[in-house]
């Protein structure tokens, strides 16, 4: 159906179309989506099998359908396949991680991480065919060079990266969320503008054969939701 355009308060609006379902189909679709997404796991061992650039582009476009404050879309996704650059990022990340494990992280934090098997070594940054770093744009520049803050930046980028993870799963690939702290080195290595701050690093690719992941349980519905009926 051709979209109809109208003017509301001087701005163009288009007719919105949306597919709805019966209650039975809604239940089936929501259950199926949950069961599919519940199979998603963070993976730290990657195959070097290549992933086409066009797939990464589609993943980023999917993430960019996320809602954002005043539709400012305050994010930049930097996708890196260059091996030398990945090695440089790994080296810088492990320096920060070593400081974290040696002095910045509490003993309780390290104890909580122990079942997951994480440590300061991040080989996945080099092994995965792609790493994608999501940057948040704290502010923008006007045409005259003045700057203005974006709205709800953390919330907007958080939603976009969540949708990015779902898109990765949908493509049959795996990832994990890596947040070395602090992450200022990423902007320096990639020579990003002053209004961008690194948010999350995602290695993306296929898992290695015979990968093992920690046995974990996700909280049941009564521990993650409250219903007021």
Per-residue pLDDT tens digits for 80-112? 999 999 999 999 999 888 888 888 888 888 888
In a domain, 179, yes or no: yes
Average confidence (pLDDT) over 202-206: 98
What CATH number is attached to the domain comprising 158?
3.40.109.10
Range of the domain at 57: 43-224
Segment 7-20, tens digit of pLDDT? 999 999 998 888 99
Residue 146 has pLDDT above 90, yes or no: no
The answer to whether residue 125 sits within a structural domain is yes
Q: Which two tokens stand for residue 212?
A: 């093992």
Task: Quote the crossing angle between the two packed helices 53-63 and 153-170, to the nearest 10°.
Answer: 140
Q: By C-alpha distance, which of 153, 156, 162 is closest to 202?
A: 162
Structural domain contains residue 30: no
- The pLDDT tens digits of the residues spanning 110-141 come to 888 888 788 888 999 999 999 999 999 999 98
Predicted structure pTM score: 0.92
Q: Is residue 3 part of a domain?
A: no
Residue 18 lies in a domain: no
| Residue 5 belongs to some domain of the structure | no
């Amino acid at each position: 159906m051709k979209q109809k355009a109208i003017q509301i308060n001087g701005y163009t609006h288009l007719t919105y179309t949306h597919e709805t379902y019966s209650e039975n189909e809604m239940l089936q679709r929501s259950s199926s989506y949950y069961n599919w997404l519940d199979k998603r796991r963070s993976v730290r061992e990657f195959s070097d099998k290549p992933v086409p650039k066009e797939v990464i582009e589609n993943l980023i476009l999917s993430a960019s359908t996320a809602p954002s404050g005043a539709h400012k879309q305050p994010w930049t996704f930097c996708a890196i396949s260059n091996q030398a650059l990945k090695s440089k990022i790994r080296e810088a990340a492990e320096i920060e991680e070593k400081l974290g494990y040696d002095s910045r992280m509490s003993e309780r934090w390290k104890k909580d991480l122990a079942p997951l098997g994480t440590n300061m070594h991040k080989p996945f940054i080099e092994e995965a065919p792609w790493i994608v770093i999501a940057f948040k744009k704290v502010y923008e520049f006007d045409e005259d060079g003045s700057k203005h803050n974006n709205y709800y930046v953390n919330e907007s980028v958080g939603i976009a990266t969540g949708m990015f993870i779902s898109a990765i799963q949908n493509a049959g690939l795996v990832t994990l969320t890596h947040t070395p702290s602090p992450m200022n080195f990423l902007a320096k290595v990639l020579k990003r503008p002053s209004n961008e701050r690194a948010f999350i690093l995602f290695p993306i690719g296929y898992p290695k054969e015979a990968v093992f992941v920690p046995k974990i349980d996700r909280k049941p519905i009564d521990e993650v939701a409250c219903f007021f009926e």
